[in-house]
Amino acid sequence: MSAFALPDPFVVAQLSTSEFDPATAALADEVIAAGPESVYHRLVGDQESEVVFLLARHVLKGFFSASEEPTVQDAGEQKAEGIAARTAQVRRHITGMLQPLREAETRVRDAVLAQRAPLALIGGCWLDSVSQPATQPATVVNQLVRHQFVWRGEGNPRRGLHQLRGRALEEQGVFLPDVTAPDFLRQAEARSLTAWHGAYYLGLAKLPATFLPEVVGTHYVMAALGIDELLLGTRPMLTEADLRATLADYLALAPPPVRRRLYAAVTRTLAMELDHARLLADVAEWHAGLSLDAQVARIVARHAPFAGKQHRNVRIGGRPLTERFDDPAFDLAAFLADFRASPQMKPRDGGCRFLRAIKFGGPMFGIFDEREAATFQRWAEAIAAGDPPDIELTPNTAGDDAARALAAAIRPTPPDVEVRTATRGDDRAFLHRLVNIENFPNALALARANAEEGLARAEVLFEHGGDGVLTDASWFDYSPSALNERVDRIYWDKLVNPYQPLTEIPDRDEVVFGQKTFALGSMIDGAWAHRIGATGRYTRRSDGMLYSIYADEMGRGDVGKNHITLIYQVLASLGIEVPHIRDTAFLDQDELPDHLYGFSLFQLSLALFPDSLYDEILGYNLGIEMFGLGTQRMHEMQKLRRHGFDVAYEEAHLSIDNLSAGHARQSAEIIIAYLHDVATLSGADAVASHWRRIWRGYASFAYFVEHELVAGLARREPVDVVI
């Protein structure tokens, strides 16, 4: 059995295949058949279902098979400096292509920016879950965490990459809904190739441990090229030197097969960004060449699906308007010709009937925005000038050939997929599946059941939690002052005031065994929050605050301050050697007790549902951050010091979790901020249901801590669990 030793040289997951439930394949096929827009929407809007893992596999393998294998001309090309030189060369070429687009007329420039938005507004998504129990405390992963921390505005969503880019778009007059909105791609008029490219980056976001070489290569290229900064006129948040240093460190750790994968990813991403730059140029050319008739046609096409029954008495070309718009064979060019010749557009003193109808006071006022109304004005003036040309509408086909080739490559079932119904197995096997969830997505349903069962069971403490030794999960009605009062009371009455230094220190073996009972939970430190703040769901104050706590747990990218690094240091000082929990060898370790896996299994299960169990995670976070304070922590430090063991893990928590301004206080502030937002958006009456879920999250932590209380309740009467 190989033992884990620091520093962690992890560069890619050992497991390469993924297991899926038999029913999942049909669901993935259905999404893929609906087109790239459907795939993009599912990948950006869903981070909890099994099907997104399979979609990611389909998309990534499709891109891999559709791209040519790179030919290495020089060994230096595979070094960081060589990759940087290639990237800089492509950047110069792309800059020459895109610079004129920034200076194009407003209508054309806005179309280009909107076309790029589905990629710009998910930038960095490949780092969403790169930090996870399977990858920490890897050296390069921590460097990526540092980059992610910067891109996420150091815990302030308003200063994060996506919000900065969104504001830059709006400053230039491009207003789009959130990337998770159903009409986002339609509003952006995204071409199919744009949607496929976005799906590739979102696919990496779902499988970063399995495809870490591709993540690292993609990360360097996308950040170093800086296409979005070029188009939006914003400053890069990461320096090229910093990016190159991370790339070099990864290459130094990676064996040749992994380096080849990274190099292929670099080549692929450079080609993709060149292709997308060409697509943007083609989109700009198409928009610039639109005749006035074609510009009006775009407006009509955009609004026609929403024309209601109020138009049933309006006739164009002798047919009711609603009938023409509902016709499956609707001919837009023929309609425009009829509309142009209709009484509605006939020039009169003071303008035509249609223009009067769309002005203030008219029956169609407010249907068209200012830019659309101005286009109709110019069209009416051209009609009044007489002798208009024949209407010719040329479709926008930018990127269609490449998109069709990708669609054909993405449809086949990836070769690294195994179809199998998941079984929970024993606790060790279940832990292995949850840690390596990228390889066992079919375990998600089991994880959901485990989380829901633990939460439901914990509600018994709503009545009896006041008897806890270290927690108080008894129910109380929420208010900010009531929450702060409960937190203060737990801190003083249960964690601090009872403290008395130990007068007798247990012997060495007892201290070591005690540490073993805590070790497994410590080895997944922060896991409950590792999926918080993913692309499309990092907007609330509570998102940034909770993400900041997770970043602190991971040392904000400093591997020496990473709490998982610290626990392995402590274990080493105790003479305890185990494989990393991601490794198959961990299934056979004989150092850590089997009967204490439940706590870690619950935490890992909860972490996999950061959207639907968000409230519960906030409550759980409060419990676990307060647990780092007081009597138990002080006693452990006393025991460890007496026998000369490392106390770094205990010291870090006693300091960073402090009630004054540390994680314990922040955890209460997160809940208050979140419930304030709930009240603002949904009304004060909505707070109660969210609060109940938050407090059951706290109780679920207390349930694992208060062993004697829970055992006593179990002896007193059976606990009914409702799932």
What was the pLDDT predicted at 71? 62
Task: Decide if 442 contacts 421 (C-beta within 8 A).
Answer: yes
What was the pLDDT predicted at 722? 44
Residue where the block lists tokens 């003193």: 349
Mean pLDDT of 142-167: 98
Mean pLDDT of 122-140: 98
For residue 74, is pLDDT > 70? no
Confidence of residue 381 (pLDDT cuts 50, 70, 90): very high
What CA–CA distance (Å, rounded) separates 143 from 447?
Answer: 30
For residue 201, is pLDDT > 90? yes
pLDDT tens column, 494-513: 998 999 999 999 999 999 99
Confidence of residue 309 (pLDDT cuts 50, 70, 90): low
Task: Decide if 62 contacts 406 (C-beta within 8 A).
Answer: yes
Mean pLDDT of 286-315: 87
Least confident of 142-151, 212-221, 626-635: 626-635
How many CA atoms lie within 13 Å of 358's alpha carbon, on the beta-carbon side? 18
For residue 107, is pLDDT > 90? yes
Task: Decide if 24 contacts 442 (C-beta within 8 A).
Answer: yes
Least confident of 40-49, 159-168, 647-656, 672-681: 647-656
State both tokens at 478: 């929420």
% helix, strand, coil for the chain, step of 5: 65, 0, 35
For residue 375, is pLDDT > 50? yes
Task: Decide if 283 contacts 111 (C-beta within 8 A).
Answer: yes
Mean pLDDT of 438-451: 98
Share of the chain above pLDDT 90, in %: 87
Question: Which DSSP symbol is given to 424?
Answer: -
What CA–CA distance (Å, rounded) separates 32 from 28?
Answer: 6
What was the pLDDT predicted at 414? 87
For residue 178, is pLDDT > 90? yes
Q: Which of 172, 173, 703, 154 is nearest to 470 (CA)?
A: 703
Q: Where are the alpha helices (DSSP H) in 444-533?
A: 444-458, 461-464, 480-489, 508-522
pLDDT tens column, 558-601: 999 999 999 999 999 999 999 999 999 999 999 999 888 999 99
Angle at 417 between CA 416 and CA 421, to 5 degrees: 150
Confidence of residue 723 (pLDDT cuts 50, 70, 90): very low
Mean pLDDT of 137-150: 98
What CA–CA distance (Å, rounded) separates 481 from 129?
Answer: 35
**Own/partner long-range contacts of 457-461 (Cβ < 8 Å, ≥24 apart):** 457/700, 457/703, 457/719, 457/721, 458/696, 458/699, 458/700, 458/702, 458/703, 459/696, 459/699, 460/703, 460/710, 460/713, 460/719, 461/699, 461/702, 461/703, 461/706, 461/709
Angle at 219 between CA 70 and CA 162, to 5 degrees: 140
Confidence of residue 76 (pLDDT cuts 50, 70, 90): low
What CA–CA distance (Å, rounded) separates 123 from 232?
Answer: 13
For residue 629, is pLDDT > 80? no
Q: Which of 279, 242, 264 is nearest to 98 (CA)?
A: 279
Structural domains for the chain: 18-68+76-289+401-419 (no CATH), 292-385 (no CATH), 427-716 (1.20.910)
What was the pLDDT predicted at 334? 94
State both tokens at 114: 């909107």
- Work out the mean pLDDT of the chain and round it to a whole number: 94
- Position with higher pLDDT, 455 vs 69: 455
Amino acid at 297: A
Task: Decide if 221 contacts 123 (C-beta within 8 A).
Answer: no
- Position with higher pLDDT, 677 vs 723: 677
Q: Report CA dihedral (11, 16, 22, 25) to the nearest 10 degrees.
A: 70
Q: Coil, strand or helix: which one is 307?
A: coil
Confidence of residue 635 (pLDDT cuts 50, 70, 90): very high
What was the pLDDT predicted at 663? 92
Confidence of residue 693 (pLDDT cuts 50, 70, 90): very high
pLDDT tens column, 477-490: 999 999 999 999 99
What was the pLDDT predicted at 1? 61
For residue 461, is pLDDT > 90? yes
Residue where the block lists tokens 């932590």: 701
Instruction: Print the SS3 string covering 665-691.
Output: HHHHHHHHHHHHHHHHHHCHHHHHHHH
For residue 302, is pLDDT > 80? yes
Residue where the block lists tokens 């900010």: 480
Residue 595's contacts (CB-CB under 8 Å, 6 or more residues apart) are none
State both tokens at 376: 């109709």
Q: Coil, strand or helix: which one is 123?
A: coil
What CA–CA distance (Å, rounded) separates 461 from 112?
Answer: 56
Claim: this prediction has a pTM higher than 0.85: yes
Q: Which of 333, 324, 351, 321 is nearest to 291 (CA)?
A: 333
What was the pLDDT predicted at 424? 95
State both tokens at 620: 């759980």
Mean pLDDT of 650-659: 85
What CA–CA distance (Å, rounded) separates 379 from 382?
Answer: 5
For residue 75, is pLDDT > 70? no
Mean pLDDT of 111-117: 98
Mean pLDDT of 12-35: 96
User: How do 417-419 and 18-20 pair as beta strands?
Assistant: parallel
Task: Decide if 597 contacts 518 (C-beta within 8 A).
Answer: no
What was the pLDDT predicted at 571? 96
What CA–CA distance (Å, rounded) separates 264 from 183?
Answer: 34
Mean pLDDT of 401-416: 93
How many CA atoms lie within 13 Å of 710's alpha carbon, on the beta-carbon side? 18
Share of the chain above pLDDT 70, in %: 97
User: How do 315-316 and 18-20 pair as beta strands?
Assistant: unpaired
Task: Decide if 604 contacts 434 (C-beta within 8 A).
Answer: yes
What was the pLDDT predicted at 653? 86
Q: Which helix (H) or strand (E) holds 315?
A: strand 315-316
Highest mean pLDDT among 313-327, 355-369, 655-669: 355-369
Task: Decide if 700 contacts 454 (C-beta within 8 A).
Answer: yes
Confidence of residue 467 (pLDDT cuts 50, 70, 90): very high
- Position with higher pLDDT, 20 vs 68: 20
Q: Coil, strand or helix: which one is 364?
A: coil
State both tokens at 157: 């969503």
What CA–CA distance (Å, rounded) separates 673 from 543?
Answer: 10
For residue 66, is pLDDT > 90? no
Mean pLDDT of 306-314: 73
Mean pLDDT of 181-193: 97
Mean pLDDT of 621-641: 90
